[in-house]
Amino acid sequence: MRVDRPHPGEELNDGEVTEPRQAASLILLRDSPEGPEVLLVQRNPAQRFMGGAWVFPGGAVHAEDTDHAAAGVRELLEEAGIALPAGAEVVSWSRWITPEEVKVRFDTWFFVAEAPPGAEPT
């Protein structure tokens, strides 16, 4: 895929291909009387990369994370204040790798989970 111009907050890479950073995102779903709901969080508008964008909770995999799913669960707690109960089902959904043409790259695994009863993001 050829990128002619970067998306907002992205820079084109003119040199060596950047190794993508390992990352995970968690798509939290719940039923409501109006239909399904999906949790999104807004990135800090001051951030250089995708500032102000609405995204699934997620971020870099840390050394203490046991795997990508654990990283997604940790990021959900950090970014939205929602803890999944022990034994909650976290299902692998997709994997996206940022194109080689941009400087900031991620190798992101996406997971899906059901919101705990009464969960409200903070």
For residue 8, the model assigns a pLDDT of 53
Q: What is the pTM of this model?
A: 0.84
Nearest-angstrom CA–CA distance, 13 and 10: 9
Nearest-angstrom CA–CA distance, 102 and 112: 27
**Structure-model confidence comparison of residues 44 and 59, the more confident one:** 59
For residue 103, the model assigns a pLDDT of 81
48-64, pLDDT tens digit by residue? 777 899 999 999 999 99
Nearest-angstrom CA–CA distance, 73 and 100: 28
Give the highest mean pLDDT range of 10-19, 42-51, 82-91, 99-108: 82-91
Inform me whether the pLDDT recorded for 35 exceeds 70. yes
Q: Among residues 104, 85, 106, which one has the least CA distance to residue 94?
A: 106
Nearest-angstrom CA–CA distance, 50 and 105: 12
Q: What percent of the chain has pLDDT over 70?
A: 89
Inform me whether the pLDDT recorded for 3 exceeds 50. no
Nearest-angstrom CA–CA distance, 73 and 24: 9
Specify whether the CB–CB gap between 26 and 75 falls below 8 A. Answer: yes
For residue 78, the model assigns a pLDDT of 96
